[in-house]
C-alpha cells in the first residue's frame, strides 16, 4: 500500500511539474510605425503624422519618435477601390515626421474612399489604410443666440437626413469649443473638478466632447431629419461657444472606442490591456475621416 | 412541453398499485430533535441486512424490499448521537418512522458518532460541502459569508479580496448556477460584490457541485451551488442577535401548530462610520446601506404532505455626490420566492413540486453637470419544477424531473431625460432529466442520466448526457470518474471590480448557447482514522462562449449579435484535499493546480497579424497554484481559535511594451496615450498570501441566552498584495502604481442566542 502511495505521489508531482512549465511567455517590445491623419469633408487634405512607438517606460514626445524621409501618398479611390487620383505629400522642414499635401486646393469629399500609403527608404514597413468619409452632416434649424444653462429650454439641433455608409450606422461626436475660456466662466461641475485637482488645467475643457454616440440613440423625425438636444454636461464654460457636430468614420470610431477602455472601464478585468482597433495594415495609428457642421451660441448663467 | 408537464403531474399525484409487494419497507423524515430541522444526507441502515441509504435534500429516506422480520435500525449524522431502534416488519408493511437525532454538545465531542455515509456523500465526485459552523467560525471581512467560505475549497478561486465571486475550475461567476431554496439567484452579492447575499443565520445547507454534476441540474457550463435555508425550529422559539462594526443581524424561528417558521434579517450599520468620515472627507456617500430578509414557513399538512414557502429580499443602495453638481446613485437587489410541496407518494416514490419566482434589478444613475444618465435593468424568472425519486429495487434509484419557466429580461437606458435604449427579451425554457443510480454491488456505483433542454429565444434544443462511475477497490479508497455535457443560454455582463451593474444577456438567433464537456477523475481515501484525503483531476472545454464585446461603447442601433464576441476556452487541473475531521483540532488543507485559457478572434492577436485570429490567454482570475489551510482549535470550553492561510501564485496581467500618442483627435483637448502590448496577460503579479485568525469566547448574556464574542484579524501581517497595476500618464515616463488589496483589518462582533 505504501509503495502504491509513493508511486501515486511521484506521478502527481511529475504531472504538476510538467504542466507548470510556462508555455505562454511574455514577449518583448517591438517597434511599430504610427500614422495619424484625419480627413474632414470640405477641407483640404490633412497633414499626416508619421512616427514610431517607443518603449513603454521611456519618455515620450512626438519629436523623439518622428520618422523622416517617408514617402506619403493619399489616393482617392473609385467605386472598385482603385486609385483614381493620387496626392503626394512632403515633409515639413521644421517639423520632422509631419507630412503636408502638395496640393492645397483639393477639398475632401463626403461619401468617398481615400487610401493612405506610407513607405520608407530605410525601413521595411509598408503602411496602408483606407477610410470612407461619412455623409455630410448639416444643421438645418435656427439656433438661438443665447440659451440659459440648465434651463428647461435645451439647445436643440436638427440634422438633415444623412446617408449611412457601408460600415453601418453613423457615429456622432458633439464638441463644444469655448470662446471665453476663463476660470470664472466654468460651469459648477467643471469648476469643482478644476478646484479639486491641481493637475487639471482649464484648457483641457476648452474643447469638451460628448464621446462617441451611435445614430441609433436618436429617433429619426418623420421627414428623416434627426433632432437632438445638446446635453448640459457638454457645456464647460458659460459664454460664447461653438458647437461642432461631427460624423466620424469607422476607423476613427474604432480607435477611440478601444483607446477609451484600454486601461479599464469596460468588462475587461483590471490589468487586462488589449491593443487598439487600428484598421491599418503594416502599422498602427489612425487614418480616419469625418464630416462636421458648426453652430454658435452663448450659454448664459442661470438667473443672469 | 405541455405533454411533459401532464406526464409529471400525473406521476406526482397518482398513488399507483404498481409498487405493491409482499416485502415491507420503512421510510420517513430525519430531523434534529432540538430544532426539527430536516437533516440532509443522514445515514440510515438496517444493521442485520447491511442495507442502508441516506436522506435526500428534503430529509426524506426510504428503504424498501425488506423481508418480514425484526431489525435494528440505526441512523447517524455528523455531530449527532447515534439513533438505534428495534423494528419489526410484517409482510407488505410500510412503516413510517420519522427519526429525530439528538445533537451532541462540543464537550462530548469524543462521543460524537461519525456518519460515513454523509462523509462519502460530501465527497462524491466534484462535490464539496461547507458547514454553516465553518462559515461562522472562519475569520471574515464585515460579515461571515457563504461565498468567502466556499472560496476556501480547492478548485474555487477568488478574483480578489474585494470579490466574493466564485471562479470554479476555470469558469467565471456566470458559469455557476446559484440556487437558494431551488430558486435561481442572479446577483448574489452585497456591497457590489464584496460579499454574498446569503445570511449565515438563515442558511442550513450549502452544497457545491464543482463539476461533472448530475443530470438533475443544468443551465450552466461549470458548476452548481445549492443553498437551503433553515425550515425553522419545530420545538421551541429561539433567536439570535449579532452586532458587528459594519453590519448586524437578527433571526428568530419557532414552531406553530402545523409546522415551523423562520425569519432572519441583516442590515449594514455603516451610518455612524459615514457620519464620522464626513467630518474629514469630502466624498462620502449620502446614503449607503444594504439589507436582506430571509423567511420561511412550513406547513405539515399530513404525514405524507409537507408544504413550505420561502422568501428572500435583499437590496443595496448608495448615493454618492462626488463633485459639485455631480452625483452617482445605485440601487440593486434580488427577490426570490419559492413554494414547495413534498409528497411521499409511496414507500418507493417521493415527489416534490416547486413554484419559484426570482427578480433581479439594478438601477444605476449618474447626474453630472445637469445631465442625467439612468439605467433600469430587470430580470424576472418564474418557473415550475417537479422532481420524482423512485426506488426501483435495492440496486436502482431512478430520478426524473422537469423544470419549465419564463425568463424576462428588460433593459432601459435614458440619457438626458430621453430614452436611448430599450430592449426586452422573453424566453420560455424547459428542461427535463432522467437519471438512474445503479449499484450492481457494494463496490460499484454507476450513475447515468440525460437532460434535455430547450430555450425558445433562438429555438434551441439540446441534449446533455451525464455519466459517473464509482469503484471501491478497498474499504478506504474510492475511485470516481464522471463525464457530462453542459449548455448555457445566459451570459453575465459584469466587471470583476464591481458587480453592482451586472446584467445578463441570453442566447438568441445568431447567438448560440455556450457548451462544454467535463471529464473528472477522483480518488477519495481515508489514510487514517478521522482523516480524509482526496485527489481530483478535471478537464473541461468551453465552446461558443459569448461575452459582451469589451469595445462596444454604445449598444444603440447595433444588431444583437454585434454586441458579442464569440470564443472558446478550456481548463484543467488537479485538486488535493486533506481533512482532519475529528477532535479539538479540525480543519483542512486544499491545494489546486489549475490552468484556464480563453480565445476570442480579434482579441490578443499580434498587432500586424490578421485581426480575425486570436491566441489563447489566461483570464485575470487564473492562478496556477492555490493553497488554503483552514484550522480550528477548541482551546477550552469557552475559547476557540480559528485561522485561514492562503497562498496563491500571482494572477496574470498585461505588461505594456510600447507607447505612443494621438495628438490630433478632432475633439477633446488632451492628447490620447496608447500602450502597445504583446501577449495579453502574459506576465504575473507577485504571489498572493494572507493570514487571518480569530478568537471566539463563549459566555452568557445576563442569563438570557448564550453569547459569543469574536475577535478577528484579517491579513494579520498586513501583506500588501497587489490587485493590478495602474499607469499614470501625467508623468513622463509613465509611472506604474501598485493598486493594493486589503491591509490589516481587525474587527469584533458580539452574538447572543436566546
Q: How confident is the model at residue B5 (pLDDT cuts 50, 70, 90)?
A: very low
B684 has pLDDT over 90: yes
The three-state secondary structure class of B1 is coil
In order of their start, the domains of chain B are 2-120 (2.60.40.1120), 122-228 (2.170.130.10), 229-753 (2.40.170.20)
Q: How confident is the model at residue B118 (pLDDT cuts 50, 70, 90)?
A: low
Q: In terms of residues, how long is chain A?
A: 304
How do residues B520-574 score in pLDDT, each as one tens digit? 999 999 888 888 999 999 999 999 999 999 999 888 889 999 999 999 999 999 9
Interchain CB distance below 8 Å, A191 and B324: yes
Query: Rounded CA gap, B213 and B126, in Å?
Result: 7
For residue B196, give Cα distances in angstroms to A74, B146, B296, B506: 58, 7, 19, 24
- Least CB–CB distance from A60: residue in B496, B661, B739: B661
Which chain B residues have a beta carbon less than 8 Å from that of A258?
A: 551
B19 has pLDDT over 50: no
Query: Higher pLDDT residue, B750 or A85?
Result: A85
Cβ neighbours for B342, distance < 8 A, ≥ 6 positions apart: B58, B60, B305, B306, B307, B308, B350, B351, B352
**Which residue is closest to A154 within chain B, CA to CA?**
B416
How do residues B380-407 score in pLDDT, each as one tens digit? 999 999 999 998 988 899 999 999 999 9
Per-residue model confidence as pLDDT tens for chain A (304 residues): 556 656 766 776 676 666 666 578 999 999 999 999 999 999 999 999 999 999 999 999 999 999 999 999 999 999 999 999 999 999 999 999 999 999 999 999 999 999 999 999 999 999 999 999 999 999 999 999 999 999 999 999 999 998 887 778 899 999 999 999 999 999 999 998 888 877 778 888 999 998 899 988 887 889 989 988 898 999 999 999 999 999 999 999 999 999 999 988 788 999 999 999 999 999 999 999 999 999 999 999 987 5
How do residues B401-434 score in pLDDT, each as one tens digit? 999 999 999 999 888 888 888 889 999 999 999 9
- Least CB–CB distance from A259: residue in B574, B666, B672: B672
Interchain CB distance below 8 Å, B733 and A59: yes
- Concatenating the DSSP letter of every residue in B598-616 gives EE-TTSS--TTS-TT----
pLDDT value at position B14?
41
Query: Rounded CA gap, B285 and B274, in Å?
Result: 7
Query: Rounded CA gap, B229 and B209, in Å?
Result: 18
State whether residue B662 sits within 8 Å of chain A by CB.
Answer: yes
How do residues B478-521 score in pLDDT, each as one tens digit? 999 999 999 999 999 988 777 778 899 999 999 999 999 999 99
CA distance B593 to chain A (A): 7
Which residue is listed with cell 471562479? B167
Cβ neighbours for A2, distance < 8 A, ≥ 6 positions apart: none
B652 has pLDDT over 90: yes
pLDDT value at position A15?
66
pLDDT value at position B108?
36
Query: Rounded CA gap, B487 and B513, in Å?
Result: 6
Are the CB atoms for A280 and A129 separated by under 8 Å? Answer: yes
Q: What is the mean pLDDT of residues B200-208?
A: 91
DSSP 8-state secondary structure symbol assigned to residue B19? G
CATH 2.60.40, chain A: domain bounds: 33-132
DSSP 8-state secondary structure symbol assigned to residue B186? S
State whether residue B321 sits within 8 Å of chain A by CB.
Answer: no
- Between A and B, how many CB-CB pairs are < 8 A? 271
Query: Rounded CA gap, A131 and A34, in Å?
Result: 16
Are the CB atoms for B126 and B210 separated by under 8 Å? Answer: yes
Q: How confident is the model at residue B81 (pLDDT cuts 50, 70, 90)?
A: confident
* CB within 8 Å of chain A, chain B residues 230-259: none
* CB within 8 Å of chain A, chain B residues 157-186: 159
How do residues B625-649 score in pLDDT, each as one tens digit? 999 999 999 999 899 999 999 999 9
Are the CB atoms for B614 and B583 separated by under 8 Å? Answer: no
Query: Higher pLDDT residue, A112 or B191?
Result: A112
B110 has pLDDT over 50: no
Query: Rounded CA gap, B87 and B77, in Å?
Result: 20
Q: What is the mean pLDDT of residues B82-100?
A: 88
Query: Rounded CA gap, A205 and A207, in Å?
Result: 5
pLDDT value at position A4?
62
Which chain A residues have a beta carbon less than 8 Å from that of B326?
A: 189, 192
pLDDT value at position B16?
38
CA distance A270 to chain B (A): 6
Please list the residues that pair with B358 across neighbouring strands: B336, B381
State whether residue B539 sits within 8 Å of chain A by CB.
Answer: no
Take residue A254 and report the three cell numbers written for it. 474604432
Take residue B730 and report the three cell numbers written for it. 501625467
Quote the mean pLDDT of chain B: 89
pLDDT value at position B380?
97
How do residues B263-282 score in pLDDT, each as one tens digit? 999 999 888 888 887 777 77
Which of B534, B535, B550, B687 should one mutate to test binding to chain A, selecting the residue with the greatest count of A CBs within 10 A? B550
Interchain CB distance below 8 Å, B677 and A34: no
Which chain A residues have a beta carbon less than 8 Å from that of B649?
A: none
Query: Rounded CA gap, B367 and A202, in Å?
Result: 21
- Concatenating the DSSP letter of every residue in A65-82 gives HB--SEEEEEEEE-TTS-
CA distance A78 to chain B (A): 25
CA distance B573 to chain A (A): 9
- Least CB–CB distance from B368: residue in A38, A189, A286: A189
Interchain CB distance below 8 Å, B551 and A29: no
Are the CB atoms for A20 and B624 separated by under 8 Å? Answer: yes
- Least CB–CB distance from B657: residue in A8, A29, A173: A29
**Which residue is closest to B565 within chain A, CA to CA?**
A267
Query: Rounded CA gap, B676 and B680, in Å?
Result: 11
Helix-strand-coil percent breakdown of chain A, rounded to 5? 20, 35, 45
Tell me which residue of B10, B699, B749, B685 sits closest to B345, measured CA to CA.
B10
pLDDT value at position B400?
97
pLDDT value at position A21?
64
Interchain CB distance below 8 Å, A60 and B660: yes
Which chain B residues have a beta carbon less than 8 Å from that of A284?
A: 607, 660, 674, 676
Q: How confident is the model at residue B109 (pLDDT cuts 50, 70, 90)?
A: very low
Region of B602 (left: φ > 0; alpha: ψ -120 to 50; beta: rest) is left
State whether residue B70 sits within 8 Å of chain A by CB.
Answer: no
Interchain CB distance below 8 Å, A207 and B604: no
- Concatenating the DSSP letter of every residue in A3-50 gives HHHHHHHHHHHHHHHHHHS--SPPPPP---EEEEEEEETTSPPPPEEE
Interior CA angle at B162 toward B548 and B223, to 5°? 60
State whether residue B416 sits within 8 Å of chain A by CB.
Answer: yes
Interchain CB distance below 8 Å, B668 and A209: yes
Are the CB atoms for B227 and B206 separated by under 8 Å? Answer: yes
Q: HEC string of B569-637?
A: EEEEEEEEEEEECCCCEEEEEEEEEEEEEEECCCCCCCCCCCCCCCCCECCCCCCCEEEEEEEEEECCC
Q: How confident is the model at residue B186 (pLDDT cuts 50, 70, 90)?
A: very high
Which residue is listed with cell 452625483? B327
Q: Does domain A33-132 have CATH number 2.60.40?
A: yes
CB atoms under 10 Å from CB of B28, counted, come to: 18
Query: What's the ipTM?
Result: 0.91
- Least CB–CB distance from B548: residue in A15, A267, A278: A267
For residue B604, give Cα distances in angstroms to A20, A212, B194, B610, B681: 22, 24, 30, 11, 9
Q: What whole-number percentage of chain B has pLDDT above 70?
A: 94
CA distance A80 to chain B (A): 23
- Least CB–CB distance from B557: residue in A208, A211, A215: A215
Amino acid at each position: 500500500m505504501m509503495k502504491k502511495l509513493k508511486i501515486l505521489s511521484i506521478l502527481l508531482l511529475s504531472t504538476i511539474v510538467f504542466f507548470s512549465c510556462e508555455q505562454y511567455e511574455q514577449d518583448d517590445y517591438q517597434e511599430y510605425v504610427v500614422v495619424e491623419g484625419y480627413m474632414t469633408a470640405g477641407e483640404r487634405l490633412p497633414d499626416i503624422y508619421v512616427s514610431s512607438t517607443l518603449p513603454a517606460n521611456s519618455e515620450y514626445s512626438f519629436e523623439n519618435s518622428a520618422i523622416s524621409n517617408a514617402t506619403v501618398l493619399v489616393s482617392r479611390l473609385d467605386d472598385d477601390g482603385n486609385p483614381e487620383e493620387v496626392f503626394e505629400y512632403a515633409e515639413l522642414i521644421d517639423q520632422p515626421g509631419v507630412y503636408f499635401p502638395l496640393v492645397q486646393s483639393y477639398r475632401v469629399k463626403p461619401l468617398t474612399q481615400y487610401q493612405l500609403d506610407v513607405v520608407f527608404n530605410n525601413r521595411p514597413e509598408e503602411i496602408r489604410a483606407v477610410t470612407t468619409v461619412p455623409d455630410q452632416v448639416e444643421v438645418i434649424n435656427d439656433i438661438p443666440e443665447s440659451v440659459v444653462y440648465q434651463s428647461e429650454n435645451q439647445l436643440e439641433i436638427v440634422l438633415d437626413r444623412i446617408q449611412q455608409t457601408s460600415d453601418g450606422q453613423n457615429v456622432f461626436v458633439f464638441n463644444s469649443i469655448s470662446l471665453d475660456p476663463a476660470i470664472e466662466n466654468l460651469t459648477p461641475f467643471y469648476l469643482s473638478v478644476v478646484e479639486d485637482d491641481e493637475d487639471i488645467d482649464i484648457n483641457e475643457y476648452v474643447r469638451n466632447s460628448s464621446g462617441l454616440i451611435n445614430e441609433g440613440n436618436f429617433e429619426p423625425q418623420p421627414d428623416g431629419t434627426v433632432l437632438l438636444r445638446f446635453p448640459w454636461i457638454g457645456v464647460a464654460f458659460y459664454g460664447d461657444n461653438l458647437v461642432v457636430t461631427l460624423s466620424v468614420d469607422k476607423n476613427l470610431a474604432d480607435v477611440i472606442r478601444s483607446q477609451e477602455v484600454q486601461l479599464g472601464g469596460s468588462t475587461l478585468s483590471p490589468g487586462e490591456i488589449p491593443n487598439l482597433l487600428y484598421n491599418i495594415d503594416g502599422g498602427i495609428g489612425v487614418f480616419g475621416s469625418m464630416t462636421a457642421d458648426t453652430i454658435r451660441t452663448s450659454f448664459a448663467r442661470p438667473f443672469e | 412541453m405541455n405533454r411533459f408537464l401532464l406526464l409529471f403531474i400525473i406521476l406526482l399525484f397518482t398513488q399507483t398499485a404498481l409498487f405493491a409487494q409482499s416485502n415491507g419497507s420503512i421510510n420517513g423524515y430525519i430531523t434534529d430533535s432540538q430544532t426539527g430541522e430536516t437533516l440532509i444526507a443522514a445515514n440510515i441502515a438496517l444493521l442485520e441486512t447491511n442495507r442502508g441509504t441516506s436522506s435526500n435534500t428534503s430529509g426524506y429516506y426510504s428503504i424498501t424490499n425488506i423481508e418480514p422480520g425484526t431489525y435494528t435500525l440505526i441512523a447517524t449524522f455528523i455531530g449527532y448521537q447515534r439513533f438505534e431502534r428495534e423494528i419489526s416488519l410484517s409482510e407488505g408493511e410500510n412503516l413510517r418512522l420519522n427519526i429525530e437525532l439528538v445533537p451532541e454538545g462540543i464537550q462530548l465531542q469524543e462521543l460524537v458518532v461519525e456518519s460515513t455515509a454523509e462523509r462519502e456523500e460530501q465527497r462524491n465526485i466534484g462535490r464539496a460541502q461547507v458547514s454553516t459552523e465553518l462559515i461562522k467560525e472562519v475569520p471574515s471581512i464585515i460579515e461571515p459569508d457563504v461565498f468567502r467560505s466556499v472560496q476556501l475549497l480547492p478548485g474555487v478561486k477568488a478574483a480578489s479580496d474585494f470579490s466574493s465571486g466564485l471562479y470554479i475550475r476555470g469558469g467565471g461567476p456566470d458559469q455557476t448556477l446559484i440556487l437558494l431554496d431551488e430558486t435561481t439567484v442572479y446577483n448574489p452579492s452585497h456591497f457590489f460584490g464584496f460579499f454574498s447575499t446569503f445570511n449565515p443565520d438563515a442558511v442550513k445547507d450549502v452544497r457545491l457541485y464543482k463539476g461533472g454534476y448530475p443530470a438533475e441540474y443544468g443551465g450552466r457550463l461549470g458548476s452548481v451551488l445549492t443553498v437551503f435555508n433553515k425550515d425553522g425550529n419545530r420545538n421551541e422559539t429561539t433567536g439570535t442577535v449579532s452586532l458587528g462594526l459594519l453590519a448586524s443581524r437578527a433571526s428568530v424561528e419557532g414552531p406553530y401548530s402545523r409546522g415551523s417558521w423562520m425569519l432572519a434579517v441583516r442590515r449594514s450599520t455603516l451610518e455612524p462610520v459615514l457620519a464620522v468620515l464626513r467630518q474629514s472627507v469630502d466624498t462620502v456617500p449620502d446614503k449607503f446601506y444594504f439589507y436582506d430578509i430571509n423567511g420561511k414557513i412550513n406547513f405539515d399538512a399530513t404525514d405524507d404532505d409537507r408544504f413550505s414557502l420561502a422568501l428572500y429580499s435583499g437590496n443595496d443602495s448608495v448615493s454618492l455626490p462626488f463633485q459639485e453638481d455631480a452625483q452617482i446613485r445605485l440601487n440593486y437587489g434580488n427577490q426570490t420566492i419559492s413554494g414547495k410541496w413534498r409528497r411521499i407518494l409511496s414507500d418507493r416514490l417521493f415527489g416534490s413540486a416547486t413554484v419559484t419566482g426570482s427578480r433581479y434589478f439594478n438601477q444605476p444613475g449618474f447626474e453630472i453637470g445637469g445631465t442625467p444618465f439612468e439605467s433600469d435593468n430587470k430580470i424576472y424568472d418564474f418557473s415550475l419544477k417537479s422532481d420524482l425519486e423512485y426506488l426501483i429495487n435495492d440496486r436502482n434509484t431512478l430520478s426524473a424531473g422537469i423544470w419549465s419557466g419564463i425568463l424576462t429580461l428588460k433593459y432601459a437606458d435614458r440619457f438626458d431625460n430621453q430614452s436611448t435604449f430599450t430592449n426586452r427579451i422573453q424566453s420560455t425554457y424547459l428542461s427535463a432529466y432522467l437519471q438512474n443510480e445503479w449499484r450492481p454491488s457494494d463496490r460499484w456505483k454507476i450513475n447515468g442520466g440525460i437532460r434535455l433542454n430547450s430555450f425558445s429565444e433562438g429555438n434551441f434544443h439540446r441534449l446533455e448526457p451525464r455519466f459517473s462511475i464509482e469503484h471501491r477497490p478497498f474499504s478506504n479508497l474510492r475511485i470516481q470518474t464522471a463525464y457530462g455535457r453542459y449548455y448555457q443560454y445566459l451570459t453575465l455582463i459584469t466587471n470583476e471590480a464591481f458587480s453592482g451593474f451586472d446584467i445578463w444577456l441570453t442566447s438568441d438567433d445568431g447567438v448560440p448557447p455556450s457548451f462544454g464537456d467535463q471529464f473528472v477523475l477522483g480518488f477519495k481515501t481515508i489514510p487514517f482514522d478521522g482523516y480524509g484525503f482526496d485527489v481530483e483531476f478535471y478537464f473541461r472545454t468551453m465552446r461558443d462562449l459569448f461575452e459582451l464585446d469589451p469595445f462596444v461603447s454604445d449598444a444603440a442601433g447595433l444588431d444583437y449579435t454585434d454586441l458579442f464576441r464569440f470564443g472558446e476556452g478550456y481548463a484543467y487541473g488537479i485538486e488535493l484535499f486533506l481533512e482532519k475531521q475529528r477532535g479539538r483540532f479540525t480543519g483542512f488543507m486544499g491545494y489546486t493546480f489549475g490552468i484556464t485559457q480563453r480565445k476570442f478572434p480579434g482579441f490578443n492577436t499580434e498587432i500586424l497579424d490578421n485581426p480575425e485570429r486570436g491566441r489563447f490567454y489566461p483570464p485575470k482570475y487564473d492562478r496556477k497554484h492555490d493553497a488554503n489551510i483552514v484550522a480550528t482549535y477548541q482551546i477550552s470550553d469557552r475559547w476557540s481559535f480559528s485561522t485561514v492561510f492562503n497562498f496563491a501564485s500571482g494572477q496574470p496581467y498585461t505588461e505594456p511594451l510600447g507607447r505612443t500618442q494621438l495628438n490630433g483627435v478632432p475633439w477633446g483637448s488632451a492628447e490620447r496615450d496608447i500602450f502597445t502590448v504583446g501577449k495579453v496577460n502574459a506576465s504575473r503579479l507577485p504571489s498572493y498570501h494572507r493570514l487571518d485568525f480569530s478568537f471566539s469566547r463563549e459566555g452568557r448574556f445576563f442569563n438570557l441566552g448564550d453569547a459569543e464574542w469574536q475577535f478577528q484579524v484579517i491579513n494579520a501581517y498586513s501583506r500588501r498584495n497587489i490587485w493590478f497595476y495602474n499607469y499614470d500618464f501625467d508623468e513622463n515616463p509613465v509611472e506604474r502604481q501598485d493598486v493594493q488589496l486589503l491591509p490589516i483589518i481587525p474587527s469584533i462582533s458580539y452574538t447572543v442566542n436566546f
